[in-house]
Amino acid sequence: MKRQLRALAAAGLLVGSSLVAVALGGNASADTQICEQYGSAVIQSRYVVQNNRWGTTAQQCINVTGSGFEITTLNGSSPTNGAPTAYPSVFFGCHYTNCSPGTNLPIQVSQISSATSSISYRYVSGATYNASYDIWLDPSPKRDGVNQMEIMIWLNRQGPIQPIGSVVGTTNLAGRTWEVWRGSNGSNNVISYVAPSAISSLNFSVLDFINDVRNRGAITNSWYLTSIQAGFEPWQGGVGLAVTSFSASVNGGGNPTTPPPTTPPPGNAACAVKYTANSWNNGFTADVQITNTGSSAINGWTLTYSLPSGQQVTNAWNATVSQSGSTVTARNTGHNGSVAPGGTASFGYQGTLSGSYSSPTSFSLNGATCSRN
The residues annotated with a catalytic role in the active site are: 150, 233
What single letter denotes the amino acid at residue 49? Answer: V
Is the preceding omega at residue 264 within 30 degrees of 0, hence cis?
no
End-to-end CA distance of the chain: 43
Contacts of 221 (CB under 8 A, 6+ apart): 108, 109, 110, 214, 257, 299
Q: Report which of 167, 165, 186, 85 is spatially closest to residue 127, judged by C-alpha positions.
A: 85
Distance CA(357)–CA(283), nearest Å, equals 9
Distance CA 44, CA 92 (A): 11
- Give the separation between CA 331 and CA 347, rounded to whole angstroms: 10
**Distance from C-alpha of 145 to C-alpha of 255, rounded to nearest angstrom:** 27
Per DSSP, the residues of 68-109 read -EEEEEE--B--TTS--S---EEEEEEETTEE-TT---SEEG
List phi, psi (to 5°) of 8. -65, -25
Cβ atoms of 307 and 330 closer than 8 Å = no
Q: Alpha-carbon Rg of the chain, whole angstroms? A: 23
Q: What share of the chain is helix, strand, coil (3-state, %, to 5)?
A: 5, 50, 45
Report in angstroms the alpha-carbon separations of 90 from 30, 87, 100.
15, 10, 10
Q: How far apart are CA 76 and CA 18, in angstroms?
A: 21
DSSP 235-275: EE--TT-EEEEEEEEEE--S----PPPSSPPTT--SEEEEE
